[in-house]
């Protein structure tokens, strides 16, 4: 019997319309233009063209590592590296603010799945719900607030660096139950489904018709269930 359900956030509970990686990165680019405005307003000196080129180079470097190393890198690391390479001296508070501004265009672009509030509301009456996401706590909170679903979750695990198992283990410990009594719902076979299965959780793959990292589409992993619509969860979880 399932006692708790953990959800990935981006591409699972919310999605980007007409998604491509290029369009996603363009949202980040627009956010970075706002970061440069913020730096100018606070009297930082820099070459905007050089800074933007550095951002794209650094971001591409970290993105390539997510493919070869199977772990996620955070905005703080990308911006910190970008600023240091341009000799921009900044405080921890400035870095945090720049990260928030960097995501300011992306956050409202995330759209909720159809009937998501009703689906989660029904599930929360029977199970404890959690978020396990690689997104930052700030981005997670802002997306959940925009969709008005933050109060439906009992536990929040952000900056998770999936597919590492740390936060899957923490979820089990805080739920005080067996792994087989927990389910993970996510769109990414490599970062959501594989670690859940490895640790003994039930795994439900939400298939959108694509993997946002194309090389993940060839991963031979068999989830406990594969769904195309989150509404199917209302019936599937009861079968475990």
Q: Which tens digit of pLDDT belongs to each residue from 170-221? A: 999 999 999 999 999 999 998 999 999 999 999 999 998 766 555 555 567 8
The chain-wide mean pLDDT, for the chain, equals 93
pLDDT at 66: 74
The number of domains in the chain is 2
**Domain match, 12 and 127 both:** yes
Q: Is the pLDDT of residue 222 over 60?
A: yes
Question: How far apart are the two ends of the chain, measured CA to CA in Å?
Answer: 6
The residues with which 157 forms a beta bridge, in sequence order, are 132
- Percent of residues, the chain, with pLDDT higher than 70: 93
Last residue of a domain, one of 107, 135, 165: 107
Q: Concatenated DSSP letters for 77-107? A: HHHHHHHHHTT----HHHHHHHHHHHTTTTG
**Domain match, 8 and 49 both:** no
| Mean pLDDT score, 98-110 | 98
Q: Is the pLDDT of residue 27 over 90?
A: yes
**The whole model's pTM is what?**
0.91
pLDDT range class, residue 63, cuts 50, 70, 90? confident
Here the CATH number for the domain that contains residue 222 is: 3.40.50.1000
In angstroms, the CA 181 to CA 172 distance is: 9
**Domain match, 100 and 134 both:** no
Provide the CA 161 distance to its chain's centre, in angstroms: 9
**Domain match, 85 and 140 both:** no
Could you tell me if 5 and 185 are in contact, meaning their C-beta atoms sit under 8 angstroms apart?
A: yes
């Amino acid at each position: 019997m399932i006692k708790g359900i953990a959800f990935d956030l981006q591409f699972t509970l919310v999605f980007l319309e007409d998604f491509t990686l290029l369009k996603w990165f363009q949202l980040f680019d627009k956010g970075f233009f706002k970061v440069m405005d913020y730096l100018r307003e606070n009297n930082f000196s820099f070459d905007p063209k050089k800074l933007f080129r550095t951002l794209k180079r650094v971001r591409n470097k970290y993105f390539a590592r997510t493919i070869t190393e199977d772990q996620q890198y955070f905005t703080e690391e990308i911006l910190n590296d970008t600023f240091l390479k341009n000799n921009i001296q900044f405080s921890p508070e400035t870095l945090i603010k720049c990260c928030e501004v960097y995501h300011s265009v992306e956050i409202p672009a995330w759209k909720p799945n159809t009937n998501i509030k009703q689906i989660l509301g029904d599930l929360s009456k029977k199970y404890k719900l959690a978020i396990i996401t690689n997104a930052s706590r700030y981005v997670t909170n802002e997306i959940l607030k925009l969709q008005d679903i933050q109060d439906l979750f009992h536990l929040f695990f952000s900056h998770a660096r999936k597919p590492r198992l740390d936060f899957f283990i923490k979820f089990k410990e805080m739920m005080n139950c067996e792994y087989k009594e927990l389910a993970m719902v996510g769109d990414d076979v490599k970062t959501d489904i594989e670690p859940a299965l490895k640790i003994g959780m039930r795994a439900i793959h939400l298939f959108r018709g694509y993997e946002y990292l194309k090389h993940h589409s060839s991963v031979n992993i068999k989830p406990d269930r594969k769904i195309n619509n989150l509404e199917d969860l209302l019936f599937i979880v009861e079968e475990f």
